[in-house]
Copies of this chain bind each other. A is one copy, B any other.
Amino acid sequence: MSIKPASGNQIKSWKKLSMSKYRKRMNRFLAEGERCVEQILENRKIMVESVLLLDDSTDTGRFRHDEVPAYTLSAHDFGLITDTQSPQGVAAVCVIPDESAAGQLAGTGGLIAAMDAIQDPGNLGTMIRTASWFGATGILLGEGTADPFHPKVVRSTAGATGILPYRKGPLSKELAELEKAGYRTCLLDGGEDAISIKQVKPHQKTVLVVGNEANGISSSLFTNGRIPVRIDGHEEYVESLNAAIALSIGLWHFAG
């Protein structure tokens, strides 16, 4: 497919993808970095609209696909569209995949990761990467959670963006839907009533909830029948595990 210099208008529109408002309006997001772009192209789960390359880059073959036009940008223009301090000179403009409809995640019948107000983009991206690695069947993004198509989140997924079906919505409602469909809800929590995760056997239909980095899981989600689970550790010296670490250990445990 063709490779040609990007136009001023294109650069202007790609630059806007750093802002949530424009990502929604244009239904596009930006993936940055060699590994990330290469993996997204390989996965063929996300529609890539354009590949962007530094105009003096060599060895660009792995970022060129027959169906995807490539554009070259000067180092200055590349700096305008990315928020990385030292951009690697490779990016892709991608189409935001559709959210799953209500009730659709329940139909996957597997392990679902649910994020309750995960604010740090790096944490969220790492969680999506790990959930994809361990074969989760869906992702629930509760209120207060970062935008999964924010450039920093996308970079942290290392190309795992778009692999899993996802849905945004209030967890109170979404968890109830899953439970109606036979799902068991486990809440990652360090509280006194939590039981050691090692005592909870893996089970097909499990949704594992991880809470906000500073405040944990919202108290309104602790309702009857849900299982608060704990990852035991040396609480005398460390207050808690990092949220992405806790979720990942939980996913590893439940993935069997």
One of A91-99, A107-115, A176-184, A231-239 at the interface = A231-239
Any B CB within 8 A of the CB of A22: no
CB distance from A2 to the nearest CB of B (A): 28
> Which of B122, B158, B249 contacts A239 (CB under 8 A)?
B158
User: How many copies of the polypeptide does the oligomer hold?
Assistant: 2
Report yes or no: B45 in contact with A237, Cβ–Cβ below 8 A. Answer: yes
Any B CB within 8 A of the CB of A188: no
- What B residues does A214 contact at CB under 8 A? 35
- What B residues does A119 contact at CB under 8 A? none
Any B CB within 8 A of the CB of A168: no
Among A68-92, those with CB < 8 Å from B are: none
- What B residues does A242 contact at CB under 8 A? 126, 129-130, 156, 158, 244
Instruction: Write the chain B residue with the least CB distance to A246.
Output: B248
Can you report 15 residue pairs joining A to B where beta carbons are below 8 Å apart? A35-B239, A39-B237, A39-B238, A43-B237, A129-B242, A129-B245, A132-B238, A135-B234, A156-B242, A158-B238, A160-B237, A163-B237, A231-B252, A248-B249, A252-B252
